[in-house]
Amino acid sequence: MASIHNLRTFIAALEEAGQLARVRRPVSLVHELADVAATLARSGGGAPLFEAVQGSNWPIFAGGIANQKRAAIALGCAEPEIIDVMARVLEPANGIPPVPVESAVWQANVRTGADADVTQLPLPTHSRGDGGAFITGGVIVSKDPVTGRGNLSYNRMLRTGPRGFGFNVNEWRHVRQFMDSRPDPAAPFPIAVAIGLDPAIMIAAGVRTDEDELTIAGAIRGQGVPVRRGVTVDVDIPAEAEIVIEGLVHPAQTSPEGPLAEFHGYHGELWDSPTVEVTAVCWRDAPIFQTIIPGWYEHIYIGNVLPREPLLRKFVRHINPTANVHIPPYSNGFSAIVQMRRDNPGQPKNLALAAMTAHVNIKNVIVVDEDVNIYDPADVLWALTNRVDWSLDIFTVPGSQGHEMDPTANQRGVHTKIGIDATYKRERREYGSRVSYPPVDLSEYLNQ
Ligand SMILES: Cc1cc2nc3c(=O)[nH]c(=O)nc-3n(C[C@H](O)[C@H](O)[C@H](O)COP(=O)(O)O)c2cc1C
Ligand SMILES: [Mn+2]
């Protein structure tokens, strides 16, 4: 497989692996495109490349990192190595800084000032509860005004006009801290939005770290990401981005922004968010637009699964060195499945306790044996059904700290965590071993 260094080489690698779904039938940007992408993600289909988008000449790609197979392709590793790779690249000492270059592919078409018009961009209105057309798959590139360090993040952007967006940024984000750290916190703050990227950059942008997240993308690829200074803003933008929007955030000029499908599977509320004044729109010839379906698998993979599994695994391996973990994309990053070789009968509960303390979000921990596939929800439900006595094998931690957006928590994020020992208790009753049919390569049996 050729090495991945931009969106195009990623799409080619996905196609080679049977993980791309070319959608040739024209789709509407309003709901239909997201419906198709969400259906593909839910049914284990490929990542869609919408080749005919109504009202636009630009194709749209989605779902690049929506399952284990594609996360492995994006990271250039085998599926069982995903957490090892993420653990390595999250280590600041392994970071590789970006490399400034003179030319960027997006310099092919540059529109500035009044010529910059974002209504020409194919922005989907994703979910039926969404408040309009949003950029959800753009990576925000900014710079710490004090240290000069670069920063990547995701901030949803509601299009409000030809040169205007609403910009969602909560109080914990670096962009918010950068703006507030200046002598005049209300002064315009320069950003660039890079769209259509090497998935290494997409993964890095979901990480919370005090380093420049681009150093993580560099660590994934083993070489620094080429970056080029913006046309109208002084930030270093990935040179192989398909599309770049530059602009100024106006922190004190706020307007209603939202709602949008949230990672927990409901819609967020309407915010009074800072606005963005667009200063330039740039694109490579025949660009591919990219979106993330909000509140769906890729959103969770980038924000909650890949960046968090390494610490979770570290915590449980402190107790059991061969334990494995997965944060499944179908439960908002609030659940963890822990897999272990059971020896000491009390240890599953200790592992559940360890998993709960690794990340504040973790609320439900299910501990299973090595014969249960932690990536298959049906297999986990089988273990819950056949290996749990609900009066003996669970414990709850009422009044513990969770995520403030957990729909079961109070406004401060206080909720009840639960640990479930779904391992086989042979000492209670012996049922022999599980029915098992080893998987075969179906292509050797079908279509012959
Ligand atoms: C797809 C996606 C969308 C996100 N949207 C927002 C958002 O609209 N507002 C926000 O404050 N955080 C959002 N986040 C979370 C932050 O972008 C993310 O935590 C990032 O690591 C923050 O970077 P920072 O630590 O440099 O601030 C989103 C995350 C993902 C994965
Ligand atoms: Mn950051």
What does the pLDDT look like over 300-359, one tens digit per residue? 999 999 999 999 999 999 999 999 999 999 999 999 999 999 999 999 999 999 999 999
Instruction: Report whether 149 contacts 178 (CB < 8 A).
Output: no
Whose CA is closest to atom 31 on ligand 1? 303
Q: Is 287 left (phi over 0), alpha (psi -120 to 50) or beta?
A: beta
Instruction: Please state, in angstroms and as integers, the Cα–Cα distance from residue 439 to each residue in 46, 360, 442, following that order.
Output: 21, 37, 9
Longest CA span, the chain: 75
Instruction: Please state, in angstroms and as integers, the Cα–Cα distance from residue 280 to each residue in 61, 126, 233, 424, following that order.
Output: 23, 25, 9, 60
Q: Determine if ligand 1 sits within 6 Å of the CB of residue 174.
A: yes
Q: pLDDT band for position 447 (50/70/90)? A: confident
- Stronger pLDDT, 299 or 2, i.e. the higher one: 299
Q: What is the pTM of this model?
A: 0.97
**Is pLDDT above 80 for 433?**
yes
Co-location of 211 and 343 in the same domain = no
**Is pLDDT above 70 for 415?**
yes
Co-location of 412 and 282 in the same domain = no
Q: Examine residue 217 and state whether it is found in any structural domain, yes or no.
A: yes
* pLDDT at residue number 331: 93
CA 152 to ligand 1: nearest atom:
26
**Mean pLDDT, residues 123-134:** 98
**Total domains in the fold of the chain:** 2
Give residue-wise pLDDT tens across range 351-385: 999 999 999 999 999 999 999 999 999 999 999 99
* pLDDT at residue number 448: 67
Pocket test for ligand 1, best of 153, 201, 404 (most atoms within 8 A of CB): 153
Q: Examine residue 442 and state whether it is found in any structural domain, yes or no.
A: no
Query: Which residues are within 8 A (CB) of 50 and not within 5 positions of it... i.e. 6 or more apart?
Result: 23, 27, 33, 36, 59, 60, 61, 62
Co-location of 325 and 280 in the same domain = no
**Is pLDDT above 90 for 41?**
yes
**Mean pLDDT, residues 113-142:** 98
Residue 165 identity:
F
Co-location of 293 and 339 in the same domain = no
* pLDDT at residue number 232: 98
Q: Examine residue 436 and state whether it is found in any structural domain, yes or no.
A: no
- Mean pLDDT over each residue of the chain, to the nearest integer: 97
Co-location of 255 and 317 in the same domain = no
Q: Examine residue 2 and state whether it is found in any structural domain, yes or no.
A: no
Co-location of 331 and 277 in the same domain = no
Say whether the peptide bond before residue 438 is cis (omega within 30 degrees of 0): no
Domain range enclosing 341: 308-421
Instruction: Classify 110 as helix, strand or coil.
Output: strand
Q: Determine if ligand 1 sits within 6 Å of the CB of residue 206.
A: yes
Q: Examine residue 427 and state whether it is found in any structural domain, yes or no.
A: no
Co-location of 133 and 233 in the same domain = yes
**Is pLDDT above 80 for 193?**
yes
Co-location of 217 and 353 in the same domain = no
Which ligand is the nearest neighbour of the Cα of 172?
Answer: 1
If you search the block for the tokens 């289909």, which residue do you land on?
45
Q: Examine residue 445 and state whether it is found in any structural domain, yes or no.
A: no
Q: What's the CA-to-centroid distance between 154 and ligand 1, angstroms?
A: 4
Co-location of 67 and 100 in the same domain = yes
* Radius of gyration for the alpha carbons in the chain, expressed in angstroms and rounded: 23
Which ligand is the nearest neighbour of the Cα of 306?
Answer: 1
* pLDDT at residue number 313: 98
Q: What's the CA-to-centroid distance between 173 and ligand 1, angstroms?
A: 7
Q: pLDDT band for position 2 (50/70/90)? A: low
Q: Determine if ligand 1 sits within 6 Å of the CB of residue 168.
A: yes
Give residue-wise pLDDT tens across range 231-253: 999 999 999 999 999 999 999 99
Co-location of 238 and 318 in the same domain = no
Q: Determine if ligand 1 sits within 6 Å of the CB of residue 216.
A: no
Co-location of 314 and 185 in the same domain = no
Q: Cα dihedral sign for 89, 90, 94, 99?
A: positive
* Residue 27 token pair: 């789709």
